[in-house]
Chains A and B, each alone.
Chain A
Amino acid sequence: MTHVTTTPSSDGTPVEGAAPATLARVRGSRAARWTWGQLGLLLVLAVIVLFTVPNPSLAIGMLIYGLWAAGLNLLVGYGGLVSFGHALPFAWGGYAAGLVLLHVSTSVWLALLVAVASMALLSTLVGAVCLRRTEVYFSMLTLAFAQLGFFIALQWDSVTGGDDGLAGIPVPTLGLGTGIELNALRDPLTFFLFTGVVVLVTFAGLILFTESPMGRVLQAIRENEERARGCGYNTRLVQLVTFVLAGTVAGLAGGLFAMLNNFVGLQPYWLLSGVVLIMVILGGRSSLFGPVLGAVVYLVLESTLSRYYASWQLIVGAIFMVCVLAFPQGLWGLVTQTVPGLFRRRRSAG
């Protein structure tokens, strides 16, 4: 169940569903431009969000969730490793940033640095355990760790605030002699732009990773681990690096989310493992941009439907099911497949 099987079409063009590298490589170096083009797509999407989403907190949330989902897709789409516990690094990042802001300093840089660095360390340990297994057993181990984290956060209330969480997290400051505060309520535009820059830069790093020799090996391992070993690769090491990278990105996203809400708690942080996975699948696993699109679409659905229906989750669930059945390659996969003309023009332009 961790694999949605896709068969390449008979004419030799790849099917979007399962093979990110395939798409990038299939027409030589020219298509590789499109890989970097994802950065442009993200920029365009961010601008659209900025001008069309009336609720600034929601707009900023879209960027944060988008980054989180894109990072998760390193594991899911590129690595074939489905994590059921990606709330753990997100929540950890939130608590870490929140605690720094509350007790140490209001510097946004320090808070994010601690969130990212501590998460990298934790991911290494968690990943070393989870990656002892593959397929559904890997998924179960990630889920178990997220559950463990939830209960620690619940029980250890002297640090985490337990059930109440950490409220009243101070507004972070940008420092560097600017005097700029990241206040989502009073100055949402600054917060949006700051988040946008962080997300774009991180996203560029993710693209570089997927195009690098190591990122390519990750995809080769997904295709055939035995053969990757036969080429001399330490496949566990490559997967562990990916696990840490995905966890670190999630930690960063969680830290930003804590600043956005000035709050960290059990809800919603620890309950989002399924949601972020839905965003990835909805948007499409074969690119980094797909999950960002999935996050935006999911949040649009959520915010619209929840206004009219108390049981909006039912509707989102139904939509998700239809999507998975009708186009397992996800929304972005659907776009790139059904509008090939668009891409041919792009390619020859590139």
Chain B
Amino acid sequence: MSEPILLAEGLDRSFGGIHAVNDVSLEIPEGSLHAIIGPNGSGKTTLFNLITGHTRPSAGRVRFAGQDITGMPYSKVARKGLAKSYQITTVFPLLTVFENVRIAAQAAEHSYVFWRPADRIKSVVRHTEQVLERIGLAHERDTIASNLSHGDQRRLDLAIALATSPRLLLLDEPTAGMSPTETAATVKLVEELNADVTILMIEHKMDVILSIADRITVLHQGEKLFEGAPAEVKSHPRVQEVYLTGSL
């Protein structure tokens, strides 16, 4: 079997007295849809930050696409093909939806060009339009990002990540704050995207994730409590105890 696209080994990080992530390992095979669940404060976002280079792990290693990326700066990790969408919406607020996505779309090939107008680079414009179409924001292309509804801003956040054409997409609660209809649409979208890109996603809504994930990791107080297929997670007694009953 080929090497997994992402391999995290023994990741560890404390903040003051809080052991936010405690010896967590992950193995994500190419093409899979892997979910991370866990109660509030269980270290999910911190685990993402250790992978992307936002936060330095105090122990452990991260390998991405066959390369050690431990301690690499975030922008460099991103250039390697790892994109992240944020738990708290992070977009370019005063730029249009189109420009938000175009900025991400040009990153792959035309980052630092300064001798020709950006709008003339047809391949980037076309790619941007495709992403907007796919995410379902094409009709909002000229809207200023901060004027979008909450749900659309969440989707724009995802569109920016997608437009960089990543090999691995990290999604930090993409449905946070969404209505049930919006949630359903986003879940369907994530499932569709998984046809082209490996996805590692944090999700709070248990029912959402059980139906689409290949594998689920349950975090509890920074530790990996359990990992398995959705059906196993559902029936696992400890998971029931700390997670299902408590937070839903």
Tell me, in angstroms, the Cα distance from A313 to B99 when the chains sit together.
42
A34 at the interface (CB under 8 A from B): no
**CB 8 Å contact bits of B98-115 with A (1 = contact, 0 = none):** 110011101110111111
User: Any chain B CB within 8 A of the CB of A272?
Assistant: no
- Contact at B95–A19, with CB atoms within 8 Å? yes
Does A26 count as interface, using CB distance less than 8 angstroms? yes
In the complex the two chains form, is B112's CB within 8 Å of A214's CB? Answer: yes
User: Within the assembled complex, what's the spacing in Å between the Cα atoms of A28 and B114?
Assistant: 20
Chain A residues within 8 Å of B121, by CB: 213
Q: CB within 8 Å of A: which of B70-99?
A: 73-76, 78-79, 83-84, 90-96, 98-99
A6 to B93, CA, bound (A): 11
* Contact B112–A220 (Cβ < 8 Å): no
Interface presence of B144 (CB below 8 A): yes
Evaluate whether A231 and B117 lie within 8 angstroms (CB atoms) in the complex, with A14-B94, A22-B144, A214-B111 already known.
no
- Answer whether A214 and B113 are a contact pair too, CB < 8 Å, given A12-B144, A12-B147, A229-B78: yes
A233 within 8 A of B: yes
A–B Cβ pairs within 8 angstroms, 24 of them: A6-B94, A8-B144, A12-B147, A14-B94, A14-B96, A21-B95, A25-B96, A28-B98, A32-B119, A213-B112, A216-B102, A219-B92, A220-B99, A223-B95, A224-B93, A227-B160, A228-B103, A229-B78, A231-B103, A232-B76, A232-B79, A232-B107, A232-B111, A233-B75
Quick check: A238 and B112 within 8 Å, CB to CB?
yes
B113 is contacted by which of A21, A25, A212 (Cβ under 8 Å)? A212
List residues of B whose CB falls within 8 A of some A CB. Answer: 52, 73-76, 78-79, 83-84, 90-96, 98-99, 102-104, 106-108, 110-119, 121, 124, 142-144, 146-147, 160-161, 164
Is A55 part of the contact surface with B, judged by Cβ < 8 Å?
Answer: no
- Knowing that A7-B146, A12-B144, A229-B78 touch, tell me 8 more A-B residue pairs with CB under 8 angstroms: A22-B95, A28-B142, A216-B102, A217-B103, A217-B111, A224-B90, A230-B52, A230-B74
A192-224 CB contact bits vs B (8 Å, 1 = yes)?
000000000000000011011111110110011
Known contacts A6-B94, A231-B164, A234-B75; A208 and B114 CB within 8 A of each other: yes
Asked whether any CB of chain B lies closer than 8 Å to the CB of A237, the reply is yes
Rounded to whole angstroms, the CA-CA distance of A224 and B104 in the bound complex is 13
Q: How far is the CA of A9 from the CA of B106 in the complex (A)?
A: 28
**Any B CB within 8 A of the CB of A135:** no
C-alpha spacing A211/B113, complex, angstroms: 10
Contacts of A233 in B (CB 8 A): 75, 107, 111
CB distance from A329 to the nearest CB of B (A): 13
Using A10-B147, A235-B75 as known contacts, say yes or no to A223 and B114 having CB atoms under 8 A apart.
no
Contact B92 A227 (CB under 8 A): yes
Write the nearest CB–CB distance from A227 to chain B, whole angstroms.
5
* Distance in angstroms between the alpha carbons of A228 and B121 in the assembled complex: 19
A62 at the interface (CB under 8 A from B): no
A158 at the interface (CB under 8 A from B): no
Q: Which of B78, B93, B94 contacts A232 (CB 8 A)?
A: B78
Question: Which A residues are in CB contact (< 8 Å) with B103?
Answer: 216-217, 220, 228, 231
- CB of A302 within 8 A of chain B? no
